Amino acid sequence: MTTIKASCPSCGEVELTPADVSLVVCSHAPLSYYSFACPGCTEQVRKPADDHVVSLLVSGGVPATVWEVPAEALEPRTGPVLTYDDLLDLAIQLAETDLLAPVAAGRVAS
Ligand SMILES: [Zn+2]
pLDDT at position 107 over 80: no
pLDDT digits (tens, 9 = 90+) for 19-55: 999 999 999 999 999 999 999 999 999 999 999 999 9
Q: Which pLDDT value is given to residue 6?
A: 95
Q: Which pLDDT value is given to residue 108?
A: 58
Higher pLDDT, 1 or 92: 92
87 Cα: distance to centroid of ligand 1 (angstroms): 37
| Global confidence as pTM | 0.69
Give Cβ neighbours of residue 32 (< 8 Å, ≥ 6 apart).
Answer: 23, 24, 25, 26, 48, 49, 50, 54
Beta bridge partners of 8: 12
Higher pLDDT, 94 or 41: 41
10 Cα: distance to centroid of ligand 1 (angstroms): 5
Q: Around ion ligand 1, which residues have CB less than 5 A away?
A: 8, 10-11, 38, 40-41
